[in-house]
Amino acid sequence: MSPTSVLFASLRRGGRRFSPLLCFHHPRFLSTQLDYPLTHPIYSIWAANTSLGKTLVSAGLSISFLSSAPDRKFVYFKPVQTGFPQDSDSRFVYKKFSEFASLHRPERSVLASNHVLRASASASEELLNRECGSGIVSLGWHEENLVGNAGGLEASELVCKTLYAWREALSPHLVAEKEGARVRDVELLEMLESCLGNGSETWVQKGGRNVDMMCVVETAGGVASPGPSGSLQCDLYRPFRLPAILVGDGKLGGISATISAYETLKLRGYDVVAIVFEDHGLLNEAPLLSYLRDRVPVLVLPPVPQEMSNNLMEWFYQSQDIFNYLQEIMCLASRERLERFHYMTKKAREIFWWPFTQHKLVSEERVTMIDSRCGENFAVHKVKNADSIVQQFDACASWWTQGPDASLQIELARDMGYATSRYGHVMFPENVYEPALECAEILLEGVGKGWASRAYFSDNGSTAIEIALKMALRKFLFDHKVLLENSNGNGADRYIDLKVLALRGSYHGDTLGAMEAQAPSPYTGFYQQPWYTGRGHFLDPPKVSLCRNVWTICLPKNIQPDNANVEDLSFWSRDDIFDKKRDVSSLADVYSSYISQELTENLDPRGFMSIGALIIEPVIQGAGGMEMIDPLFQRILTKECQSRKIPVIFDEVFTGFWRLGRESAAELLSCQPDIACYAKLMTGGVIPLAVTLASEAVFEAFFGDSKLKALLHGHSYSAHALGCTAAVKSMKWFKDCKSNSNLTCDGRLLKELWDENLVQQISLLPAVGRVVVLGTLCAMELQAEGSNAGYASLYAANLIQKLRGDGIYMRPLGNVIYVMCGPCTSPQVCSNILEKIYTRLKDLSEAKIEPLAQTNLV
């Protein structure tokens, strides 16, 4: 429908086809790490529509803040100004403040200034009355005056700044285009950040005394009005997530407009601290307070005199109480927020029981207070010289779940709201509803294409594996005629002792069934789970990694060919390892006979196969230390099992959905399972949902007349609407070239995200044992011996702390560190991150960073 709709829209414009040229994508990653102070209130001022009086509110706040005590600084920013210089909100604030202060507060002396940093050439010409070239001009223009009678040293300060200005009084995205003076989102954000930053401009000590400060950033137009690049302003400024003041609408229709604007801000994760609007006698505050359930203060300003040429001094005077109150609310909320941050860090250690965490090893300083996420980045609270908000790249992808860039995150937010409101959760069995069906359709057309025909939903990887095991074992019993038709198999009788075939080092989840399918490890010890027995036959797999710039296969001691060609084990390119040509090679024969032998050994005394399923993590074993398994070995393993009617389960919980550069890792292996499990990235990383896909042949082993033959496993929120909705959006987003610019032209592959040269150099560092780089993953094992290696090792701890300081939030797997991006993360961002890692690993190699030895820590 869309091309037609554009056409129709344009039809009314005399047939001119209007194509939206503007970039409505979210600002890309900033080159610097976003960082701004929490030492004083910084607010964003938004409005439900244009002309509702944002600037009056800013001016009122400046008057109130600077009047209430000496030694204060009020900073006003107008990042985007159009209609300049006739319209200049920073000048308005500067002027009105000066006028009011001279009139009513002559006893306080305030140095007031107004600055214009940059403007389009045509706006600059208008201001300076001379030729200014083209594009955006750095003006550095300013005016100032000293208000009041007191001495200079005692003076408070008002600083007003316009960051960017354009000539015409139109929407910024139109004038930026028209005046040939575009500004990218990143530029604007970096400019604003430097203004908010820790510099002398905004955080000052004057003559040894602390200066109380307040800062406001006034947006342009309504909350969702486009900025200069076309990005909606509510999206544009989102990385800062400044607390918000919303200027509402007191007119007829204003209740609706104010509520809608409020919801638009909430949908971007903003906290609205107060709503304020001009009284038009319609009592709009009552429905607003009711809607807000009294949780957000609503303030009403006196009517602004119709005759705007009036100098407004009377109005500001009348409004003093309201502005004082608003200002107090803002200061209080800001203080409370900071106090809460400190409290939270303490309290977390007292009441959380973190998974996989030895609490004794977590000091208060090690606790990270995460204020928010924007795309791939956390905003965390840091106390360095002072409290601040600092951006960190989520390099652990929050336990490998993350995929969204900032644009997808916003779309998911809207979709989550919609799905909650449309469905909440509704009963799944025997029912159908849109998101569940669409999700199943996309799964079967995507990762399940060519083999799967049924989708079984559950909540996480571990439950998906439990379901897969039940499916596989039943299918095995069915195929091998162990299943008695119409049996009412009640209770605990065991007919045969079924095992799974699995690889050592694999991990499938923490519920008992999933644990039983993995080899003994620190996770499975008696003190962790006394019921664990290890119901598997576990093989040591051959592994692959980039060692000293050569891709190398490392064979386990059980597979040591007498006469294998040594060239089989080294590769110059990673692609060669996946090459199907390797199926015909001496190594393939070695693998094949080894596997046959292992299977033969697992016949029970009656000659009956006791291996009821194969379960593997295809290509990469994640929790086992980001080990890459020789794909040839896994391919042969799959085939050997399938030829013996042993069902094959692929655990793609970690590897699925582009994690390894392909929609599924099965594609990399070039073979198909009978059953596969997906979770994590499936929902784009916002909400737990898992699915077990199965072939129709597997499904048929449960089909019959009795309910008791059905698969009696299920969780309350099976196929919950929110999860399915998020999955539908994310799966589509990742594989659509329009939303994911990392896809190669055929849409089946992610382009290389990690700079090849950097990866090579890292692999050559003495401190680095091996590198595995594939898709969104780049993992590095640190050279370590004995107890410094392995899961419980803290060897990487110091390195990790340094990297967090660099703005990279990593979590190690013992002595293995890794960085993981989303399928849409720009390669530039990846390189940026990888360079920092390289530098730190070089320091480690040169012993500038000490690894944390294990001597005192068990």
Which residues inside 660-719 make contact with a second copy, applying CB under 8 A? 679-680, 684-688, 694, 699, 702-719
Compare residues 353 and 572 and give the one whose CB is closer to a second copy: 353
Helices 586-601 + 631-643 axis angle, to 10: 50
| Stretch near a second copy under the rule CB under 8 A, chosen from 13-21, 58-66, 102-110, 196-204 | 13-21
* Residue 823 binds to a second copy (criterion: CB under 8 A): no
Q: Is 809 helix (H, G, I), strand (E, B) or coil?
A: strand
How far are the Cα atoms of 400, 427, 690, 758, 796 from residue 754, in angstroms, in the given order? 17, 44, 29, 8, 22
Distance CA 591, CA 614 (A): 16
Taking CB under 8 A as the rule, which mask of x and - marks residues 378-397 in contact with a second copy?
x---------------x-x-
Tokens coding 366: 């090690």
- R_g (Cα) of the chain, nearest Å: 31
In angstroms, the CA 336 to CA 340 distance is 6
Tell me: does residue 301 bind a second copy (CB under 8 A). Answer: yes
Distance between CA atoms of 283 and 290, rounded to whole angstroms? 12
Parallel, antiparallel or unpaired: strands 550-554 and 543-547: antiparallel
The reply on whether position 649 binds a second copy by CB under 8 A is no
Chosen residue from 513, 561, 805, 827 binding a second copy by CB under 8 A: 513
Whichever of 140 and 530 has its CB closer to a second copy, that residue is 530
Could you tell me how many residues of this chain bind a second copy (CB under 8 A)? 226
Q: What's the min distance (Å) between Cβ of 583 and a second copy?
A: 33
- Give the number of C-alpha atoms closer than 13 A to the C-alpha of residue 673, restricted to the C-beta side: 30
- Tell me how far, at minimum, the Cβ of 711 lies from a second copy, in Å: 7
516 lines the binding site for a second copy (CB under 8 A): yes
DSSP structure class, residue 769: E
| Among 135, 305, 424, 747, interactor with a second copy by CB under 8 A | 424
Please identify, among the stretches 104-112, 423-431, 556-564, 601-609, the one whose residues bind a second copy according to the rule CB under 8 A: 423-431
Q: Which amino acid appears at position 307 of this protein?
A: E
Cβ-contact 721, 436 below 8 angstroms: yes
Looking at residues 82 to 111 of the shown chain, list those that interact with a second copy (rule: CB under 8 A): none
Q: Return the residue of 116, 196, 299, 724 that touches a second copy, per CB under 8 A.
A: 299
CB 163 within 8 A of CB 188: yes
**Cβ atoms within 10 Å of 462's Cβ, excluding its own:** 21
Q: Which of 373, 582, 735, 836 binds a second copy (CB under 8 A)?
A: 373
Two structure tokens written together for 791: 């899961």
By CB under 8 A, residue 366 contacts a second copy:
yes
Q: Within positions 601 to 630, which residues make up the interface with a second copy, using CB under 8 A?
A: 612
Binding-site member from 132, 389, 440, 784 for a second copy (CB under 8 A)? 440
Written as one letter, the residue type at 635 is R
Task: Establish if 510 lies at the interface with a second copy (CB under 8 A).
Answer: yes
Can you tell me which of 106, 253, 305, 766 binds a second copy, judged by CB under 8 A?
253
Least spacing, CB of residue 105 vs a second copy, in Å = 22
Under the binding rule (CB under 8 A), the answer on residue 470 touching a second copy is yes
Part of the chain binding a second copy (CB under 8 A), chosen from 159-167, 253-261, 546-554, 589-597: 253-261
Torsions phi, psi for 226 (to 5 deg): -65, 145
Rounded least distance, CB 122 to a second copy, Å: 20
What amino acid is encoded at 533 in this protein? Answer: T
420 belongs to the binding site for a second copy (CB under 8 A): yes
Rounded to whole angstroms, how far apart are CA atoms 247 and 51? 10
Q: Which of 660, 708, 532, 677 lies closest to 613 in space, CA to CA?
A: 677
Q: How near is the Cβ of 95 to a second copy at its closest, in Å?
A: 24
Tokens of 741: 């610019």
* Rounded distance between C-alpha atoms, residue 281 and residue 278, angstroms: 9
DSSP SS3 for 325? helix
**What is the Cα 288 distance to its own chain's centre?**
33
Using CB under 8 A, pick the residue from 69, 103, 153, 252 that binds a second copy.
252
x/- letters, 559..588, toward a second copy (CB under 8 A): ------------------------------
Rule CB under 8 A: say whether 241 interacts with a second copy. yes
Examine residue 178 and tell whether it contacts a second copy (CB under 8 A): no
Stretch of residues binding a second copy (CB under 8 A), selected from 100-108, 134-142, 155-163, 342-350: 342-350
- Binding status of residue 209 toward a second copy by CB under 8 A: no
For a second copy, the closer of residues 550 and 708 by Cβ is: 708
- Contact call for residue 142 and a second copy (CB under 8 A): no
For 238, the token pair is: 């989102």
Q: Which two tokens stand for residue 409?
A: 């995150």
Q: Which stretch binds a second copy (CB under 8 A): 90-98, 153-161, 372-380, 666-674?
A: 372-380
Within 8 A by CB and 6+ apart from 261, the residues are 46, 47, 48, 49, 222, 223, 224, 246, 248
Give me the least distance between CB of 485 and a second copy, in Å please: 10
Answer yes or no whether residue 492 interacts with a second copy by CB under 8 A: yes
- Based on the shown chain and the rule CB under 8 A, indicate whether residue 230 belongs to the binding site for a second copy: yes
CB 519 within 8 A of CB 504: yes
Token pair recorded at residue 798 = 């110091």
Of 12-20, 27-35, 107-115, 158-166: span binding a second copy (CB under 8 A): 12-20
Among 99, 125, 154, 279, binds a second copy (CB under 8 A): 279
Helix (H, G, I), strand (E, B) or coil at 759: helix
What count of other Cβ atoms lies within 10 Å of the Cβ of residue 4? 9
Binding segment toward a second copy, per CB under 8 A, in 455-463, 656-664, 771-779, 824-832: 455-463
Binding a second copy by CB under 8 A: which of 511, 642, 798, 845?
Answer: 511
